[in-house]
Amino acid sequence: MGFILISLIILIGITSYFLGNLRAKNLRTSNQKNLKSLSHYYGYYVALWALVPALLILLMITSFKSFFIEQYVLSDFIALGSYTETELSLLFTQIENTALGIKLFDENTILIDGAVNKLNYINKTIENLTYVTVLGLSGLLVLYSLFNINNKLNSRKIVEKFLLVLYFTCSLVAIMTTVGIIFSLLYETLRFFSQVPIADFLFGLNWSPQRVFVREAGDLDTRDLANAFGAVPLFAGTFLIALIAMCVSVPVGLLTAIYMSEYASPKVRDWAKPIIEILAGIPTVVYGFFAALTVAPLVRDIGQGAGLTVSSESALAAGFVMGIMIIPFISSLSDDVIKSVPQSLREGSYAMGATKRETIVKVLLPAALPGIVGSFLLAVSRAIGETMIVVMAAGLNAKLTANPLDAATTITTQIVVILIGDQEFDSPKTQSAFALGLTLFVVTLALNFIALQVVKKYTERYD
């Protein structure tokens, strides 16, 4: 029904634009009235009256509809008073299924049949009501605004004001997203910390939320909770894998950047730079597949050849592939920074008889250092927040280890492991994922903030 209704509203909107336009033109010719705006602005004016209130009403109806329907259909059951809220929502799903012809249960048949009838009735009524209200409102407002067109009305100003408000609202979406992220993370995290002390989460050495899940049937022992949600192994694993990634990407990325900016001929630059940037455009799930299927077995075979015990989900494989993914971030950022070092510094150094290498290592790099460090920090934040590679190639069990050949798990992996598939929303296990998410959010934000400050300070120095 939504599709038909929306098409109808849009149709009304288009027609009303032409009506408004026509009426303005008629007024101009017949009455010699001096309208304040161009005719088509009156068209827009009428179309806005036709569309905006109707769409807002429709939005309101669709968002409150399901709540209202549920209350109405379940009123008999609520009156009984013997159902909890979860049971009621389960019941509602069952009633919906029964209405669709899927019969799953046979208790309370009379009440259920009544509820199914009620559901069908209310659905039909609300649909009809929606049509009448929305289309009626739209039509009335078109008429109202058509008759409102006169020589005192400056429709251009109204239309422009509306556009400005619309643009401003759109730019608020960024703020609303941030607020939404902070709100959703903070809300669940606070509920989590009301059950698990924050110190246990930040400094505990044992991470095994699965255990809590199993025991959920019985009463939760607070000691159990404290022992299950120690996030230090995750922090350590994240740090280990990010460190391995940086060990790969920092030298490669930096040397590539130096080659690109100082040695390469424009021709080489023109084809090598885009190719390396392909690495940044490949979806991370592809890296994950590559790490799990090709690199991890390779690392294991090489390790075993050397007589080492290597886990098949070693941190080394995940970190290495992540490092390759990050190379273009470091190389292109550092490239920009090195290139923006003033030419006079290079020339001064050459004039003193320094070789190219000496110029780069002793003059350019120190001068560009803040920017380069900034790019490293951005890369670290990228590595910490990266999900798919570690989900597919790193371990799932939390173990406190510093051995790169061992399996390690990360914050992002655990969020996915906990939240994938169906989850119960009130358990501390689910909430712990949001606490991890908040930690991740804060850390990456702080890293980015510091990185941007460092880069900013540097660019100011030479401007």
Part of the chain binding other proteins (CB under 8 A), chosen from 49-57, 105-113, 142-150, 185-193: 185-193
Of residues 38 and 205, the one with the C-beta less far from other proteins: 38
Shortest spacing between CB 453 and other proteins, in angstroms? 12
Part of the chain binding other proteins (CB under 8 A), chosen from 94-102, 204-212, 217-225, 284-292: 284-292
Of residues 28 and 65, the one with the C-beta less far from other proteins: 65
The yes or no reply on residue 101 touching other proteins (CB under 8 A) is: no
Q: Which of 282, 352, 369, 402 binds other proteins (CB under 8 A)?
A: 282
The yes or no reply on residue 416 touching other proteins (CB under 8 A) is: yes
Shortest spacing between CB 100 and other proteins, in angstroms? 15
Of residues 143 and 158, the one with the C-beta less far from other proteins: 158
Shortest spacing between CB 434 and other proteins, in angstroms? 6
Tokens of 8: 């109808």
- Restricting to residues 37-76, name those near other proteins by CB under 8 A: 63, 66
Q: Which of 47, 225, 231, 327 binds other proteins (CB under 8 A)?
A: 327
Q: Which of 360, 368, 398, 408 binds other proteins (CB under 8 A)?
A: 360
Of residues 205 and 293, the one with the C-beta less far from other proteins: 293
CA-closest candidate to residue 323, choices 240, 260, 267, 422: 240
Q: How far apart are CA 297 and CA 316, in angstroms?
A: 11
- Restricting to residues 236-275, name those near other proteins by CB under 8 A: 251-256, 258-260, 263, 272, 275
Shortest spacing between CB 223 and other proteins, in angstroms? 28
Residue 196 CB partners (closer than 8 Å, separation 6+): 225, 226, 229, 428, 432
The yes or no reply on residue 160 touching other proteins (CB under 8 A) is: yes
Part of the chain binding other proteins (CB under 8 A), chosen from 46-54, 230-238, 366-374, 381-389: 381-389
Q: Which of 78, 132, 173, 302 binds other proteins (CB under 8 A)?
A: 173
- Restricting to residues 206-225, name those near other proteins by CB under 8 A: none
The yes or no reply on residue 184 touching other proteins (CB under 8 A) is: yes
Shortest spacing between CB 31 and other proteins, in angstroms? 25
Burial of 364 (0-12, 13-18, 19+ CB in 10 A): buried
Of residues 67 and 147, the one with the C-beta less far from other proteins: 67
Tokens of 361: 């290592």
Q: Which of 87, 358, 424, 426 binds other proteins (CB under 8 A)?
A: 358
- Restricting to residues 434-453, name those near other proteins by CB under 8 A: 434, 437, 440-441, 444-445, 448, 452
Q: How far apart are CA 10 and CA 134, in angstroms?
A: 12
Q: Is the dihedral of CA 422, 424, 425, 430 positive or negative?
A: negative
Q: How far is CA 364 from CA 107, 270, 356, 419, 449, in A?
A: 80, 23, 10, 47, 25
The yes or no reply on residue 187 touching other proteins (CB under 8 A) is: yes
Of residues 128 and 423, the one with the C-beta less far from other proteins: 423
The CA-based angle 287-291-296, given to 5 degrees, is: 175
Of residues 139 and 385, the one with the C-beta less far from other proteins: 385
Shortest spacing between CB 392 and other proteins, in angstroms? 6
